[in-house]
Structure 1
Amino acid sequence: MGPLTLAVDSKSSSMASCGNFHPSNGKVQNLHLERNSFFASVSTREDKPFDFLRILFEGVIAGGTAGVIVETALYPIDTIKTRIQAAQGGGKIIWKGLYSGLAGNLAGVLPASAMFVGVYEPTKQKLLKILPENLSAVAHLTAGAIGGLAASLIRVPTEVVKQRMQTRQFASAPDAVRLIVSREGFKGLYAGYGSFLLRDLPFDAIQFCIYEQLRIGYMLAAKRDLNDPENAIIGAFAGALTGAITTPLDVIKTRLMVQGSANQYKGIFDCVQTIVREEGPPALLKGIGPRVLWIGIGGSIFFGVLESTKRFVAQRRPDHDQFADSSKQD
């Protein structure tokens, strides 16, 4: 016997019905238990026609809002994590200026988070319509990676400036940008781009996949939509677990981004070899405590705010009341 998987299928009536819950609106429509399916799945094939621009707009609003709130609330923890990772040997950690670079970072976080969710949501929903229902996790993984790739064009320069300021190399974001470009060229703003993708694409894909799968499973088990605290708890777990798994990749990314024109490391593999040789393998887990704490709390806030904002925006759509009425009649 294969593992049991909860699935919602609004098309089929050949299987025994367990209720009428639909995760997108808290209403039930033919809830089933399917065997031989590895992932939780939700059928979306009979939803309203795919509206790319609406989904994009709502994702941009929700993503930008969630990203700014998380970054502002947890910036000091991120600063501590960066300084721990950047310190070599027994270097001391500086505890002053924990909000150094926040304003400049928010200028990048807002459009980056908006772009990520703006790309993720329509990609996810399109893939869920195309792929078989038991492959919903593939849709979440793929959409997370594509969203991360699109957002990286903004996130990397923002991350470079932020981490240089967190390690007290520059006094302000404009100075950081100007001096980095003058000393290292425009490519200096994309220092560590390869390591950033190596860390963030798996991170985005895994985190959003874990979150979406747990959320679907929880909704199907509870036979209702989730409230904001429940979304936040699931987001915290997904963020903390993913943060711990990807810590070595984060250490590598930090070292490559903060090295500046010194070029201490020639690339990703040289960075790993140098760290292990000079500081030992445990150095690849530097900052894991603050990182797990930061991303765990951040995941809680981000996903809680994300779902709340998506619901807020959706409720103010001109067609919301009409759609809600039609749902009640189904």
Structure 2
Amino acid sequence: MDRPGFTASLVAGGVAGVSVDLILFPLDTIKTRLQSPQGFYKAGGFYGVYAGVPSTAIGSFPNAAAFFVTYEYVKWILHTDSSSYLMPVTHMLAASVGEVVACLIRVPSEVVKQRAQVSASSGTFHIFSNILCQEGIQGLYRGYKSTVLREALWSWRQDRVVDSWQAAVCGAFAGGFAAAVTTPLDVAKTRIMLAKAGSSTASGNILSALHAVWRTQGLSGLFAGVFPRMAAISLGGFIFLGVYDQTRSFLLELGRESP
């Protein structure tokens, strides 16, 4: 990838990620509290829906930028002709690799954020310090496997077409559908991240976490928070891909006009 394209992807991905995460943060908080083992109202209900936003604000730009830089770079390496039948596979592979890289930044931010969302009285830095003191670096990566698996299963949504509005609409519909299908994995991820240190759930076993939810809450537990999650990801797909395309196009045009 040429230097202007690399820089444009970096900045556009970061701007798009920050826009989505901050605008839709209340929906994410409600979803997390619905999935919390302590129950929605005990986790905070509708109170303090911006709890944990500092963690998101700090991690959002590098997380989104890492995804899109990797995404564009893998597509550039594979260099599949736009008319080739392999183009969808190229997009899927690039998005999957992008998610694996982005999760290295996303998961620590997500762990801190989710714990703050269900404990609004505790500050972000206090939660971060406690995790490091009690569990070390591995505590910040609790739920990494479930997060990567969840993201990889719907990474195909990143297949974009030329126009920004088309990319946004495709992102919204594909993201909403994928959000519903992958909700059980999201529930498992939330339970793993919120579990007490040393518990069986905290070990990160996805199947064990899903079985525990099924045993205590049944199907409704596995799909807890599905509607706010679908709404957030559908709107997020629209905003994210639309903002990314527009920002990247603007930056590339600006680069061409500069001497």
Query: TM-score by structure 2 length?
Result: 0.91
Gaps of 5+ in 1: 1-49, 216-224, 323-330
The residue type paired with residue 197 of structure 1 is V
- Say yes or no: does 1:284 pair with 2:222: yes
Residue 152 of structure 1 corresponds to which residue in structure 2? 103
- Measured in 1, the distance between the counterparts of 2:258 and 2:57 equals 35
The one of 53, 58, 63 aligned to 2:13: 63
Which of 242, 250, 254 is 1:304 aligned to?
242
Select the residue among 50, 57, 75 that pairs with 1:106. Answer: 57
Q: Indicate conservation of the 8 Å contact 2:157/2:170, yes or no.
A: no
Letter in 2 for 1:308: Q
Q: What residue in structure 1 maps to residue 28 of structure 2?
A: 78
Between 271-280 and 293-302, report the one with greater CA deviation.
Answer: 271-280
Q: Within the alignment, does 1:179 sit opposite 2:133 as a pair?
A: no
Q: Distance in 2 between matches of 1:264 and 1:91?
A: 25
Residues 1:241 and 2:241 aligned together:
no
Which residue of structure 2 lines up, in the alignment, with residue 17 of structure 1? none
Cα distance change, pair 142–90 in 1 and its aligned pair in 2 (3 A): closer
Could you say which residue in structure 1 is the equivalent of 2:157? Answer: 207
Does residue 260 of the first structure (1) align with residue 196 of the second (2)? yes
Q: Which amino acid aligns with 1:54?
A: P
Deviation at residue 260 of structure 1 after TM alignment: 3.3
SS, match of residue 99 in structure 1: coil
RMSD (Å), alpha carbons: 2.2
- The verdict on how the C-alpha distance between 1:136 and 1:229 changes in structure 2, with shifts beyond 3 A counting, is closer
Where does 1:162-173 land on structure 2 (aligned, <5 Å)? Answer: 162-168=113-119, 171-173=122-124
Separation in structure 2 between the aligned mates of residue 233 and residue 111 of structure 1, nearest angstrom: 25
Greater radius of gyration (CA): 1
Alignment deviations for residues 208-262 of structure 1 (CA, whole Å, 9 cap, x no partner): 13xx2xx3xxxxxxxxx53x44432222112111211211111111110111315
Instruction: Give the aligned partner of residue 133 of structure 1.
Output: 84
Could you tell me the TM-score, scaled by structure 1's length?
A: 0.72
Question: In the superposition, relative to structure 1, how do residues 178 and 89 fare at CA in structure 2: closer, same or farther (>3 Å)?
Answer: closer
What CA distance in whole angstroms lies between the structure 1 residues aligned with 2:188 and 2:224?
10
Partners of 2:41 and 2:213 lie apart in 1 by 14
Q: Deviations over 1:127-151 (max 9, x none)?
A: 2337981110110010001111111
Measured after TM superposition, the shift of residue 280 of structure 1 is 1.1
* 1:40-59 correspondence runs (5 A): 50-51=1-2, 53-59=3-9
Give 5+ residue unaligned stretches, structure 2: none
| Greater relative contact order, per chain length (Cα 8 Å cut-off, separation 6+) | 2
Following TM superposition, the consecutive aligned residue runs of length 4 or more in structure 1 with deviations greater than 6 angstroms are: none
Percent pairwise identity: 36
